[in-house]
Chains A and B, each alone.
Chain A
Amino acid sequence: MEASITFKKVSQLVDGEAVLAGLSFGIENNSTVAIVGENDDSGLKEFIKLTAGISNPDYGALYIHGLDSIKRRKEIRSLIGYVPLENDMDPWLTAMQNISFINSFYNIDNKKLSERYRFYVDALDLNEILNIQVNRLSPGTLKKLTLMRELARDPKILVLDNPTGFMNAKDSALTWDLLQSLHKKITIIYSSTDLSKIEKFHDRILVFHNGKIDLNDNLENMLKNWQGQYQFKIQFEKFLTPLFNKIEKVKEIISPIKDDDTLIFNANHRSALLIIMTLLTGVTINDINIKKYHLRDLLVARYMRGGIL
């Protein structure tokens, strides 16, 4: 698939210290990439700034739709929409004045722009607030307005820093619905602290750790490569070692542990349990517990406790 964004050995310095080091990878056209920063120094903020075009790489090169991000800056600007974490609207103008002002610098047909305004005003429920001065609006509403402003330009790439930050439940739902309707139509790159949303809405997850991309895959593959997607706990009345030795040899199960009379193991499919059951004739089972792993479990195990088992 054609690359939407390509990083070639990109490094970024902040106060003389490298916060991104030698990034080389590509983001496919029309894919949705969720970004997670493991900590404040992860490099996530700098990654977003680079992708959105706020800063230029200190080393290496960045290509947007094959165009060099520095040499072809003007052409690139029309391809990218950026929704920052905090609103950047002019406090002395109304909502609609703000949106019209910024979009007037892009060469867009007024008729098309008006049509898109109408569409996104309805989609994000912004009708009531368009003529209100923005310093009287809530941060969540301003976030929706910023999203509308950027989408009205029909960007090929949309970069969002915490897309539903400061929003109430209703606004958050509207925003996610709108973003999901754009899935596979444009390239979406977003950071979020809402891991459950990330699990549901991504083609790829990038996990930043100490200025490098530590994990780069979809959730299913990440969990598979970690220790499986499910954790099983079977509590026996009496769990003998010969049985455990037999279970250990089943190739579908990952890292089995015998904890007194309890068997704990991981697997990528729930059907692994059925394979184990066939080995358990004549054994009394007191309880079975199946847990699906989430992104949070992986992140906690990897960065906070060194393993949750």
Chain B
Amino acid sequence: MIKALFIRRLWIIKNRLLTTLGLLLILPIFINVIINLPFKRLVVSPLWDIPHEQWIFPGLTLIVIVMMMIPSVSRDLFDLRILNKLLPSLALTPISRSQYLFNLLVIILIEAVVYTVIIMSVYSILISPGFIFLDYLIMFPFFLLFIALTANILTTLALIVDKTTLHILLVLSFFLFIVFASGTVIEFEYFPEIIGTIFSYLPTGQILLSLRMALFSDVINWWIIFSAIITILIWTFLNGLLFTKRLIK
């Protein structure tokens, strides 16, 4: 099944090749201009005592990845469901619905990994963070965890609502949360203490915190990684149940 889904993803990219490539190049530049450049001037002395470009690099990359993931997940799980396309015939095939969703998430993950490589390359040129190759390798597993987690959140948002306007509102709110409240570009210490603590203990914040600890302090918090994996697996299972329920009328 994964092969069929993989081929389908390639077909979609092929059918919209120029748009996809265009977005992959334009979005990092756009995010750099509207977020990184003003933040660089705003944050005079970074709290972690690390060069701004290095500190913000993982966050900027993740923001663009999430932006690239939103259309993929919304198209496959919201649009198709609301428009009654593809999913009804998929529901009639001998495959199980939860198995389909799991494989779909794996494909989204693979697609996001490819995008990650491209976006990291663009940012490496654009903001010159001065990382060595090993730093990029350290970042990758954390990116995978973050992508898997956000893909699950986006999947839930695509499955729980039936109204387009409400779905857009929820996705927009989630995106704002990723930009401002998950530690991608604003450190938790800048928030009022209680709010900052709450945000830092959310799975998204935890993954980014442990990424920066591994990158800048050479400390790998296995407990956070393990917890994130468990959270992702449970969330995927629950999404599978939700997907099955939403397809049976």
Interfacial residues, chain A to chain B (CB-CB below 8 A):
49, 52-56, 74-75, 77-78, 80, 82, 84, 86-94, 97-98, 101-102, 104-107, 133, 149
Contact = CB atoms under 8 A, between A and B. Distances in A.
A52 B88 CA distance: 11
Given A88-B86, A88-B88, A78 B12 contact: no
A102 B12 contact: no
A54 B89 contact: no
B82 to A, nearest CB: 12
Contacts of A91: 83, 85
Given A53-B92, A105-B90, A93 B85 contact: no
A80 B92 contact: yes
Given A77-B92, A90-B80, A105-B94, 16 more contacts: A49-B249, A53-B92, A55-B248, A55-B249, A56-B248, A80-B92, A82-B92, A89-B86, A90-B8, A90-B86, A91-B83, A101-B8, A101-B11, A105-B4, A106-B94, A149-B89
B15 interface: yes
Contacts, number: 71
Q: Which are the 6 A-B pairs with shortest beta-carbon distances?
A: A105-B93, A104-B4, A90-B86, A77-B94, A74-B94, A88-B88
B1 interface: yes
B15 A93 contact: yes
A102 B90 contact: yes
> Is the contact region of chain A dominated by helix, strand, or loop, or is it mixed?
loop
A177 B63 CA distance: 55
A90 B85 contact: yes
B154 to A, nearest CB: 18
Nearest to B80: A90
6 contacts: A54-B92, A90-B80, A91-B83, A94-B11, A98-B86, A101-B7
A53 B249 CA distance: 11
B88 A77 contact: no
Contacts of B92: 52-54, 77, 80, 82
B12 A93 contact: yes
Contact of B94 (A56, A78, A133): A78
Interface string B69-113: 000000100001001111111111111000000000000000000
